[in-house]
Chain A
């Protein structure tokens, strides 16, 4: 049960780290689909468009796991902050709509 108290923190951290990963391109690896090649970290295009999505997901997974692990001792005493797990993702979703607004405005 005490382990589950970090789940709201995991959801919030995942959303925030993912948004940061997209904005600053913190991809742990890059995939070049046209030549079927994987490279560590964010790399520029190489004969076709690069794909960072997989790298962003892994960055977020590792980052959110680390944040959850660090915050675990703190959550053992208090109650689970459940609101974090849905308010923060909603804010991140709104931020993404704002960030990608140009696709719909031009």
Chain B
């Protein structure tokens, strides 16, 4: 059962990664032209991703919270025994970053549901980029830890 939840957690994270990266790129580095894959990637209607990103963030974090005890009891103990301190620390940081991101979600929603004024444009870009960075970091750390035995030949 846990294995299915981890796979589902990973799939949701991929969807969130796509949505938040599209939005972050389009707000930080917008493009009007859709010539080529990079410009097309940036030329999306960024506001349509907001609700989906919030739901995906909440559901992915909740699923992560459900499977977290398995990591805490089995995986972390193994990592500590193997003296993989950086791996343990990376997950500790992931845990804290996700929590900080959770607190930013109401503001993120507000900034994308009001007309872009001069003062809110910077805040909108910053909040979106922070959430994007949190999601990317969490995804990479989760993925590496999930495959750590194979990656490090343990």
Which residues of chain A have a CB within 8 Å of any CB of chain B?
A: 4, 7-8, 10-11, 13-15, 18-19, 22, 31, 33-34, 48-49, 51, 53-54, 56-57, 60, 64, 79, 82-83, 85-86, 89-90, 92-93, 96-97, 100, 102-104, 106
Contacts and interface: CB of A to CB of B under 8 A. Distances in A.
Interface of B: 65, 68-70, 72-73, 76-77, 85-86, 88-90, 92-93, 95-97, 99-100, 102-104, 106-107, 109-111, 114, 119-120, 122-123, 126-127, 130
Interface-centre pick from A15, A89, A90 (highest chain B CB count, 10 A): A89
Contacts of B85: 103-104, 106
Contacts of A102: 89
A34 B72 CA distance: 9
A100 B92 contact: yes
A87 B10 CA distance: 29
Majority DSSP secondary structure for residues of A touching B: helix
B76 A49 contact: yes
B68 A22 contact: no
A96 B97 contact: yes
Majority DSSP secondary structure for residues of B touching A: helix
A85 B97 contact: no
B106 A11 contact: yes
16 contacts: A7-B107, A7-B110, A15-B103, A15-B104, A33-B69, A49-B73, A51-B72, A53-B95, A57-B99, A82-B120, A85-B107, A93-B96, A93-B97, A93-B130, A96-B96, A102-B89
A58 to B, nearest CB: 11
Interface-centre pick from B73, B99, B102, B130 (highest chain A CB count, 10 A): B99
A17 to B, nearest CB: 9
A18 B96 contact: yes
B103 A89 contact: yes
B100 A10 contact: no
A15 B107 contact: no
Contacts of A7: 106-107, 109-110
